[in-house]
Chain A
């Protein structure tokens, strides 16, 4: 067979995670091969291995039927493999031409030969029907054009295999069409393209072959013609059904959070979400499902006031909070568990006591008569959190960075629940932590819910979402497409709505 890349039983593990387990994939020459999977399914690790950025623990790679043992991107480039990263590797204040030829010549004192290179690059551009003004500064290019520069850069170095990492994530629809047109051109000119994505529509539109990954394993490789979107979604999300324990309390009738048709867009005009409405009731967990990047993160941010909304209203306990600052919102009884605990939830170089006060320094019990913080109360509070949530730490003076991920997360959840908030927004509350910490956090969330807390739960873990939530709403392309009761929903159904298959 005519293979561009053939991998045999590739495995790679990081401390605590098996990122790739026995992955064998065959990629045909001059084809577009898509690799799909949820976040954390192991796509990126596989790509890094193919591009020589990391070495696999075991397994073999063949490139154009030759065994390849790459240990750096440079070797991958020499073998004809090029990568277009999701975040462009371009220098803004240099011209397109300079960006493309950077690093080709050794660092020497001689004429750069801009004219010669310009001619050569223009030849490559006309071969593959790609078009860009070489004298523009990269700063002045649109996102789609920057991506084209990256593609030209890789082709100019003689790449015959192109790896595109989530290429459509940053593009607007017109730019996606342009990109697909270009990719088809490349394919006709003999270039092999590996297309990483989790957007099934796009994959089905562009790819010849599709490989699905889940939890580090390659589930299957199929031909585009032989597969439906439903089947792909099922393969991507899996079928394991959770067993939620029955709840003994009832959801109350009063609305804690009431969102009325809010809309928001980014500075460059891309819509984050459009006309979103939903409510969270007292003593209820409302789950939000959606493939990452469909607007759910921005909705949450607009509830706590980090993201601006263009139109619509947000009511909290019956009061319009549109014009309140983030601090006022948090003080009025909204708690927030951000999705990235190390970046947003804690300051890693501070001790636990200080981390308990962060953002709450204005709460009555931390205020002293002078303009200082009552550190005694803070110590008491953090001791309280540590014992209630079983945080494993020597004392309250320990730096946050010294704790394991699970203990950090338990501490964050404990802190957010401590002042009896009326609404808790939990964004990926158990991502990347061990099973023990996970079940403890689940248990605490259920307990608080039974005591009357309204919870807005955002999670990529469908098992967690179905197991915890009372109701689930599904986000797709910035809108709520479906509301479901968690009693009668299967992960396949949910996957269908999340990928836009079912309506």
Chain B
């Protein structure tokens, strides 16, 4: 029993080691920003769009359709979200943004499923098309409206609303402020306990209703994909469509459903950027988050909670570089130690060359850390991407891809 626990901890060292390291480094005065509630709160806001795009990728790829058009569907989400938000109100904007993404998901499904277009080709086309369509629509829809330009929409009307939990995080009840339990603990500065309180407070205070809605999709996806007949059929067509067809599964329909849901979730991701974020549509607002969503899907090994973790990691790194460039410097020593652990692990597995490479890189980061006060600004902006890349490259060895992913399926053809 204890051995099992130990083994499962060891297997998850990729996730656990960095967390521990962050906690330890955060105890130093100059890096204390690493684990404040403010950092975590920002991390959640930054992580949600990526998580939604990742979940979108999940629905599509589980049914066997590669979806690199997530970015494009997200762009549609931002524009339709802004248009709906401006014309009808915030929640209506969310819904319309989802519809816009779903529409492009449907286009991807028609191309890849019915016409057997190569999935990558169709995805690239979606990305190019979406950027153009968004601009086109923006010019048409907001032609004579104040504060709008060809690349930006006017501000949305209405507000989505925010929640701060009373008593635990100091939310208001009947207009009166209540106690802030976790805030109090966070201020005590106790090792681990205060850091943890910071994390919880990030989730409980000043959180948008849309964030709660988005987070609810994670367990919902587990239920739908793994515990309902339709989920089983969707997963089966990504694995072995010929077999599914022989058991009476409507392969095409399942793929259509998967890819369309994928588009709707990407659309929601885009709408989130507008409605819970900037309040207006801006060209290029998605900034490649659709692709990072794909990365978080791989990081999460095609599991909803894994995707949550992956996007959380990216959001955390992103929040850090925005709020506290100085704390980013602390990441250097974290990377150095992480690589050192990895070097030991590969050494035990008798993989000498990877071990040596990890060791050299580890020393490199350590020397850099010791000989510098801060990280050049250019690198700070790059932090989220490089963090994601490093973690992804060390964790992707056991990814369970759907068996027939990216393979066009033709009805009645045995393969």
A-B interaction: yes
A residues lining the B interface (CB < 8 Å): 73-74, 88-94, 98, 101-103, 105-112, 114
- Bitwise interface map of B from 224 to 239 toward A, beta carbon under 8 Å scored 1, else 0: 1011111111111001
Known pairs A89-B246, A112-B232; list 4 more (Cβ under 8 Å): A102-B244, A102-B249, A103-B248, A108-B230
Residue of B nearest to A51 (CB): B246
Asked whether any CB of chain A lies closer than 8 Å to the CB of B240, the reply is: yes
Q: Which residues of B contact A102 (CB under 8 A)?
A: 232-233, 236, 243-244, 247, 249
Q: In the complex, what residues of B have CB within 8 A of residue A98's CB?
A: 232, 235-236
A92 to B246, Cβ gap below 8 A?
no
A-B pairs with beta carbons under 8 Å apart, 22 shown? A88-B243, A90-B243, A91-B235, A91-B243, A91-B244, A93-B403, A94-B236, A98-B232, A98-B235, A98-B236, A102-B243, A103-B233, A103-B249, A106-B229, A107-B234, A107-B249, A107-B250, A108-B230, A109-B228, A110-B228, A110-B229, A112-B232
Q: A92-B403, A93-B403, A107-B254 are in contact. Are A112 and B243 (CB under 8 A)?
A: no
Docked CA distance A108–B254 (Å): 11
> B400: CB under 8 A from chain A?
yes
Nearest-neighbour CB distance to chain A for B23, whole angstroms, equals 35
Tell me how far the C-beta of B109 lies from the nearest C-beta in chain A, rounded to whole angstroms.
16
- Which residues of A lie under 8 Å from residue B248 when comparing CB positions? 74, 103
The verdict on B324 contacting chain A, using a C-beta distance below 8 Å, is no
Are B229 and A112 interface neighbours, CB within 8 A?
yes
Contact B230 A91 (CB under 8 A): no
Contact B230 A92 (CB under 8 A): no
Bound CA span A91–B404, Å: 10
How far apart are the CA atoms of A108 and B228 in the complex, in Å? 7
Inter-chain contacts of B402 with A (CB < 8 A):
93
CB closest chain-B residue, reference A137: B400
The reply to whether the CB of B395 lies closer than 8 angstroms to some CB of chain A is no
Q: Is B221 an interface residue (CB 8 A)?
A: no
Check if A103 sits within 8 Å of B247, measured CB to CB: yes
Q: Which residue of A lies closest to B231 (CB)?
A: A112
Q: How far is the CA of A73 from the CA of B248 in the complex (A)?
A: 9
- Identify which of B224, B231, B243 gathers the most chain A CB atoms within 10 Å of its CB: B243
A323 to chain B, nearest CB (A): 26
Residue of B nearest to A77 (CB): B248
The reply to whether B246 and A91 form a contact with Cβ atoms under 8 Å apart is no
Q: Assess the B249–A93 pair: CB atoms within 8 A.
A: no
- Report the minimal beta-carbon distance from B127 to chain A, rounded to whole angstroms: 28
Q: How far is the CB of A16 from chain B (nearest CB, A)?
A: 20
Contacts of A107 in B (CB 8 A): 229-230, 233-234, 249-250, 253-254
Q: How far is the CB of B240 from chain A (nearest CB, A)?
A: 4
Quote the shortest CB–CB distance from A58 to chain B (angstroms): 23
Q: Once the chains bind, are A93 and B230 in contact (CB under 8 Å)?
A: no
Shortest Cβ distance from B62 into A: residue: A93
A109 engages B230 (CB within 8 Å): yes
Chain A neighbourhood of B229, CB < 8 A: 105-108, 110, 112
In the assembly, what is the distance between CA of A103 and CA of B231, in Å?
11
Q: Which 9 A-B pairs have the closest CB atoms?
A: A103-B247, A89-B243, A91-B239, A105-B229, A107-B230, A91-B240, A103-B248, A107-B233, A103-B249
CB distance from B327 to the nearest CB of A (A): 40
- CB closest residue in chain A, given B235: A94
Q: Does B114 contact A (CB under 8 A)?
A: no
User: What is the chain A residue whose CB lies nearest that of B227?
Assistant: A112
Provide the bound-state CA to CA distance between A90 and B403, in Å: 11
In the complex, the chain A residue whose C-beta lies closest to that of B224 is A109
Binary A-proximity of B108-146 (CB < 8 A = 1, otherwise 0) = 000000000000000000000000000000000000000
Nearest CB on B from A405, distance (A) = 20
A3 to chain B, nearest CB (A): 26
B374 within 8 Å of A by Cβ? no
Residues of B within 8 A of A93 (CB): 235, 239, 400, 402-403
Query: In the complex the two chains form, what is the Cα distance from A109 to B226 in whole Å?
Result: 11
Give Cα distance in the complex from A101 to B233, angstroms.
Answer: 10
B236 touches A91 (CB 8 A): yes
Which residue of the partner chain, among A73, A88, A103, contacts B244 with CB atoms under 8 Å?
A: A103
Indicate the member of B234, B235, B236, B250 with the most A CB atoms within 10 Å.
B236
Please give the distance in Å from B246's CB to the nearest CB on chain A: 5
Contact B228 A112 (CB under 8 A): yes
A91: chain B residues within 8 A (beta carbon): 235-236, 239-240, 243-244, 403
**Chain A residues near B178 (CB-CB < 8 A):** none
- Please indicate the chain A residues that have their CB under 8 angstroms from the CB of B235 in the complex: 91, 93-94, 98
B242 in the interface (beta carbon within 8 A): yes
Q: How far is the CB of A473 from chain B (nearest CB, A)?
A: 34
Which residue of chain B has the shortest Cβ distance to A85 in the bound complex?
B246
Inter-chain CA distance A34–B228, complex, in Å, is 40
The answer to whether A111 and B236 touch (CB under 8 A), given A102-B247, A103-B247, A103-B248, is: no
Q: Report the bound CA distance from A73 to B244 in whole Å.
A: 12
Chain B residues, Cβ within 8 Å of A92: 239-240, 403
Tell me which residues across on chain A come within 8 A of B236, comparing CB atoms: 91, 94, 98, 102-103
Cα separation A98 to B249 with both chains bound (whole Å): 13
Q: How far is the CA of A112 from the CA of B235 in the complex (A)?
A: 13
Q: In the complex, which residues of chain A have a beta carbon less than 8 angstroms from the beta carbon of B227? A: 111-112, 114
Which of chain B's residues 345-371 have a Cβ closer than 8 Å to chain A?
none
| Interchain CA distance A482-B233 in the complex, whole Å | 52
Among A90, A91, A108, chain B packs the most CB atoms within 10 A around the CB of A91
Bound CA span A137–B244, Å: 17
Bound Cα distance from A91 to B62, whole angstroms: 12
CB closest residue in chain B, given A103: B247
With A and B bound together, what is the CA distance between A110 and B230 in angstroms? 8
Closest A-chain residue to B229, C-beta based?
Answer: A105
CA distance A249 to B403 in the complex (A): 56
Complex-state Cα separation, A92 to B244, whole angstroms = 12
User: Is A90 touching B228 in the complex (CB atoms < 8 A)?
Assistant: no
Residues of A within 8 A of B243 (CB): 88-91, 102
Residues of B contacting A101 in the complex (Cβ-Cβ under 8 angstroms) = 232
> Digit string of B362-402 for contact with A (CB within 8 Å is 1, else 0)?
00000000000000000000000000000000000000101
CB distance from A333 to the nearest CB of B (A): 37
Query: Is the beta-carbon distance between A90 and B232 smaller than 8 angstroms?
Result: no
Q: What 1/0 mask marks residues of chain B from 181 to 200 whose CB sits below 8 Å from any chain A CB? A: 00000000000000000000
Which chain A residues lie closer than 8 Å to B242 at the CB level? 89
Most buried by A among B226, B232, B253: B232
Q: In angstroms, how far is the closest chain B Cβ from the Cβ of A162?
A: 15
Nearest CB in chain B: distance from A121 CB, A: 15
Give the chain A neighbours of B228 by CB distance below 8 A. 108-112
- Min CB distance, A285 to chain B, in Å? 36
Give A51 Cβ to nearest chain B Cβ, in Å: 10
* Of listed A90, A101, A102, A110, residue having the most chain B CB within 10 A: A102
**Complex Cα spacing A403 to B85, Å:** 61
A114 CA / B349 CA spacing, docked (Å): 38
**Cα-based distance from A91 to B254 in the complex (angstroms):** 15
Question: Nearest chain B CB to A53's CB is how many angstroms away?
Answer: 9
A17 to B236, CA, bound (A): 36
Residues on A with beta carbons closer than 8 Å to the beta carbon of B234 = 107
Give the contacts of B204-232 with A (CB-CB under 8 A). Answer: 224, 226-232
What are the residues of chain B within 8 A of A111 when measuring CB–CB? 227-228
**A103 to B240 Cα, complex, angstroms:** 13
Residues of chain A lying within 8 A (CB to CB) of residue B244: 91, 102-103
Q: Across the interface, which residues of B come within 8 angstroms of A73, CB to CB?
A: 246
Chain B residues within 8 Å of A90, by CB? 240, 243
When chains A and B are docked, how far (Å) is the Cα of A91 from the Cα of B402?
Answer: 9
Q: How far is the CA of A227 from the CA of B263 in the complex (A)?
A: 64
C-alpha spacing A74/B253, complex, angstroms: 18
- How far is it, in angstroms, between the C-alpha of A112 and the C-alpha of B239 when the chains are bound? 19
